[in-house]
A = this chain, B = another copy of it.
Amino acid sequence: MTNLEEYGEVFSALRQTTPHWHAYTRHAFVRGLGDGSLPKESFYHYLKQDYVFLIHFSRAWALAVAKANSLDEIKACASTVNGLANGEMQYHVETCGKLGIPEDELFKTVEANENLAYTRFVLEAGYSGDFVSLLATLAPCVFGYGEIGLMLADDKTSDTYQDWIETYAGKDYQDVCINAGQLLDQAVINRFGKNYTQLPIWNKLISQFNIATRLEVDFWNMGLRGPCANPIAEPNGT
């Protein structure tokens, strides 16, 4: 079984710095997935928001291609973009379909503020910063889901959310984490050398990783809260 250390040394170092990591990976939403106590309504709400999330997550990985410094970085990120946009999105639509949520309902999802806060923070960090800043803000999502998957596979007490857990605990997703860990390690070392934690820029990366983790906590809060009882009809601007 995958060990968290396989996610690489940069993630490991960043993970230790944020006071919010526990709140994120041991959130009530997560515990509710493990013991089956999460209300279906919350889960469905989360799935719909996650559909919108994946769109912007794909855009962020595409931005990483544009900001890459080497052909290896370009190839790695391009595979991820394509996998997300032409693979994972489709899988997500099918999963939701099986649960009775049709694609046009997914498509009409009004993006919650907590959802857009995270993706826009990531994208903006990428646009305003460099490739490494972009990866550092993507990291809490990529690796956090891997860690949560492994943890829940190990200690879940209910099969209610078995499919979700297997998705993230499974070899495919764990390989995504291992590859992303190597990409992040190489990217940092190829720019800042082996003693990167001694450089001032390391504090910036810690800060960006920390904020992104805080925003992930809010994402779970949003999921747990579920849909508004009386949502305001929003103008449709797509």
Question: Do A206 and B235 have beta carbons less than 8 Å apart?
Answer: yes
Q: How far is the CB of A105 from chain B (nearest CB, A)?
A: 14
In the complex, chain B residues whose CB is within 8 Å of the CB of A25: none
Select A113's contact among B192, B210, B218, beta carbons within 8 Å. Answer: B218
Q: Secondary structure of the A side of the interface?
A: helix
Q: How far is the CB of A10 from chain B (nearest CB, A)?
A: 15
Q: How far is the CB of A104 from chain B (nearest CB, A)?
A: 12
Q: How far is the CB of A17 from chain B (nearest CB, A)?
A: 6
In the complex, chain B residues whose CB is within 8 Å of the CB of A113: 114, 117, 214-215, 218
Q: How far is the CB of A130 from chain B (nearest CB, A)?
A: 4
Q: Which single residue of chain B is at the shortest CB-CB distance from A64?
A: B62
Select A200's contact among B19, B74, B120, B193, beta carbons within 8 Å. Answer: B193
Interface flag for A81 (CB, 8 Å): yes
> Using an 8 Å CB-CB cutoff, how does the interface string of A37-62 with B read, 1 for contact, 0 for none?
00000000000000000010011101
Interface flag for A201 (CB, 8 Å): yes
Interface flag for A233 (CB, 8 Å): yes
* A→B interface (CB under 8 Å): 17-20, 55, 58-60, 62-71, 74-75, 77-79, 81-82, 84-86, 89, 107, 111, 113-114, 116-117, 120-121, 123-124, 127-130, 133, 189-193, 198-201, 203-208, 210-211, 214-215, 218, 232-238
Q: Mind listing 18 A-B residue pairs with CB under 8 Å?
A: A17-B235, A19-B233, A58-B65, A59-B66, A59-B74, A60-B66, A66-B66, A74-B85, A75-B85, A75-B89, A78-B85, A113-B218, A116-B117, A116-B121, A127-B127, A192-B200, A193-B200, A208-B237
